[in-house]
Amino acid sequence: MTDLERIGQRLVTGFPGTVLTPELVQVVKEYKIGNIILFRENIASADQLRTLCADLQTLIRSETGHDAFIMIDQEGGAVTRLPESCINVPGSMALAATGDPETTYLAGKLTGEELRSLGVNFNLAPSVDVNCNPANPIIGVRSYGDTPATVAKYAAGMIRGLQDGGVLCLAKHFPGHGDTSLDSHLTLPCVDKPRDELERMELAPFRAAIADGVPAIMTAHILFPALDDSGVPATMSRRIVTGLLRGEMSFTGLVTSDCMEMQAVQKFFGSVNGVLAAMNAGVDLVLLSHTTLLSGKAAKAAAEALQSGKLDRKEMEESVDRILAAKAKLAAVPAAAFDAEQAAALNDKLLRATITEVHVPKAGRPNVGGHPLCLGCQVYRTGLVGNVVDDVQQSFPVMMAKALGGDGFTTPIDPSEDEIYEWVRRAESYTSIVIGTYNGHLHPQQLELTKALAEHSGKPVIVVALRNPYDLFPLPESVYTLAAYEYSARSTAAVADVLLGRHAATGRLPIATPEQEAQ
């Protein structure tokens, strides 16, 4: 192999649109880029995705002589890339709420089989971050829970299921993204904990995932001074990637980076410099997920670094050997038959098992009556890991009103005091109030609306957390609360069935309430 062919195996690029672009063809032909990452913007339908993946493999095989890894972030729940016409399983915290680790295996196998049938062969999931910081703006429901034991217990099934479904998977974001209040897509977070605390909390699920045979691990763009005090994030740290992960933790699989265009790298170090540092740290697959031509610049810089000795040639060859061995092993696994109708029925069953009754007032679950008022903001992009919101946004209150036979009104993400007062006044003519919150613990005016209606409307109030269940903890005792874990038409339908008495909410919170933490 030439130097560019070796380097191309270690790079992953993205591109805009639903067909091959001239820029993508150029970097594959010129720089032998060997791997692709897809986002929602690349996917219009199952048939289109299947054609696109076939075209990508044809292009990359012809130019590199090897299969491509075609990657996707199909975590389920809040982070999904497949369209609604496909099967999007519930997210991590939702699946853990079922109380049965078998659900994560079933969800993983279903996801793996569907992705493989579409031509995607590497799912960048699951997150094994422990969401021990409720103020975390980017993990939350993407985590199985707030203890290492919970995360390890449920992640094991997902890892096994995805592999049995025929795709590669990984554990992310090493050494752990759960205890940050900042988003590494936007800035450079720091987890400043002693090593012994990191061992007990952050590192424990990764050790368990390695023991469970996870084939890959993704690094985080976060500073961990107790692990490396040199001022570089984990992705760029040789002490963390080679010393800790490869050495102390004996991990022999693939190491991938998170996207090197995230501001944690781009703003503080520069993306191309970050790529070279990540390779030098021991990262096998380095992601440049959005700017196609940037992968060519990175490949050129890496080739120069390899020639000058700034990148170690023996380590380069060992890394490429790991990648090609994983590709060969993956290609030897035949794709299983995927029955979309059967998968949809199973997925609906899984989803309904996740709906969680968090608080029941002394008077019991309220009757919504014949004319409920349904309120809540539209779905919006909570962070750069989420999809760009479609022009036709989903509205929980509109969907819920249709299901319950009431009126639905979309409220702002942060309703003003005047708007809150107006809704209290207008609530007089309704039989009950159903409110959907979406990251209300980070947008407290949503919770102020709920409190005002509970205290002054005289009507039964029901609150549904459409993302993080932390929204539900500071509400008055009189409010009936449910955790749905995701903002979608299907979760809204499942919640409506609970409120109408058609289905029981059997889920249990996989995180501690403030009362439990105080004990």
SS3 letters across 367-436? CCCCCCEEEECECCCCCCCCCCCCCCCCEHHHHHHHHHCCEEEECCCCCCHHHHHHHHHHHHHCCCEEEE
Whether the predicted pLDDT of 392 surpasses 50: no
Strand 35-38, strand 356-359: pairing = unpaired
pLDDT band (50, 70, 90) for residue 381:
low
What is the tens place of the pLDDT at every residue in 60-100? 999 999 999 999 999 999 899 999 899 999 999 999 999 99
Q: Give the residue among 440, 434, 483, 442 at the shortest CA–CA distance from 459.
A: 434
What is the helix (H) or strand (E) element at residue 71, kind and residue range?
strand 69-72
Amino acid 515: pLDDT: 78
* Contact status, residue 258 vs residue 173, Cβ threshold 8 Å: yes
Contacts of 286 (CB under 8 A, 6+ apart): 10, 11, 12, 256, 257, 260, 275, 278, 279, 298
Distance CA 424, CA 400 (A): 19
In the chain, list all ranges with CATH 3.40.50.1700. Answer: 358-518
Q: What is the mean pLDDT of the chain?
A: 94
What's the token pair of residue 360? 């029941």
pLDDT at 393: 62
pLDDT at 384 over 80: no
Across 193-232, b (16+ Cβ under 10 Å) vs e yields beeeebeebbbbbbbbbbebebbbbbbbbbbbebbbeeeb
Three-class SS state of 458: coil
Distances (CA, A) of 431 to 236, 252, 445, 458, 500: 57, 60, 23, 10, 14
Please say whether the beta carbons of 220 and 245 come within 8 A: no
Structure tokens at 265: 């790298």
Instruction: Determine the pLDDT at residue 519.
Output: 63
Confidence bin at 389 (pLDDT 50/70/90): very low
The span from the CA of 76 to the CA of 88, in Å, is 6
Give strand pairing partners of 359: 481
Q: What is the 3-state secondary structure (H, E, C) of 72-94?
A: ECCCECCECCCCCCCCCCCCHHH
For the segment 336-368, what is each residue's pLDDT rounded down to a tens digit?
889 999 999 999 999 999 999 999 999 999 999
User: Boundaries of CATH 3.20.20.300 in the chain?
Assistant: 3-340
Q: Rounded to whole angstroms, how far apart are CA atoms 31 and 28?
A: 6
Question: Rounded distance, CA 428 to CA 437, Å?
Answer: 21
Among all residues, which ones are annotated catalytic? 185, 258
What tens digit of pLDDT does each residue of 298-342 get?
A: 999 999 999 999 999 999 999 999 999 999 999 999 888 899 999
Structure tokens at 440: 């209300």
Q: How would you class 502 by CB atoms within 10 Å of its CB: exposed for 0-12, middle for 13-18, buried for 19 or more?
A: exposed
pTM for the whole thing? 0.94
Residue with tokens 């005792």: 477
pLDDT of residue 351: 97
DSSP letter at 248 equals I
CA 87/CA 107 separation, integer angstroms:
10
pLDDT tens, residue by residue, 270-283: 999 999 999 999 99
Which tens digits make up the pLDDT trace of 404-417? 999 999 999 999 99
Distance, in Å, from the CA atom of 23 to the CA atom of 10, rounded to the nearest integer, reads 19
Report residue 169 as tokens.
């998977």
pLDDT at site 391: 40
| CB-based burial label for 516 (10 Å; 0-12, 13-18, 19+) | exposed
Order of strands across the sheet that contains 69-72: 168-169, 122-123, 69-72, 35-38, 11-13, 285-288, 254-259, 216-219, 171-174
Burial label for 159, CB within 10 Å (0-12, 13-18, 19+), is: buried
The single residue listed with the structure tokens 């605390």 is 197
* Residue corresponding to tokens 């050495």: 247
The amino acid at 301: A
pLDDT at 7: 98
The two structure tokens encoding residue 516: 């439990």
Cα-atom radius of gyration of the chain, to the nearest Å? 23
Residue 345 makes CB contacts below 8 A (sequence gap 6+) with none
Q: Which long-range contacts (CB under 8 A, 24 or more apart) does 145-152 make?
A: 145/93, 145/96, 145/510, 145/511, 146/510, 146/511, 146/512, 148/200, 148/201, 148/204, 148/205, 148/208, 149/204, 150/96, 150/510, 151/205, 152/128, 152/204, 152/205, 152/208, 152/209
Distance CA 134, CA 132 (A): 6
Question: What is the dotted CATH code of the domain comprising 358-518?
Answer: 3.40.50.1700
Superfamily of domain 3-340: Glycoside hydrolase, family 3, N-terminal domain (3.20.20.300)
Q: Does the structure show a pLDDT above 60 at 387?
A: no
pLDDT at residue 285 is higher than 90: yes
Work out whether the CA dihedral 124, 125, 130, 133 comes out positive or negative.
Answer: positive
Q: Minimal CA–CA distance to 406: which of 384, 448, 435, 379? A: 435
User: Residue holding tokens 């997150």?
Assistant: 127
Q: For the residues 412-436, what does the mean pLDDT come to?
A: 96
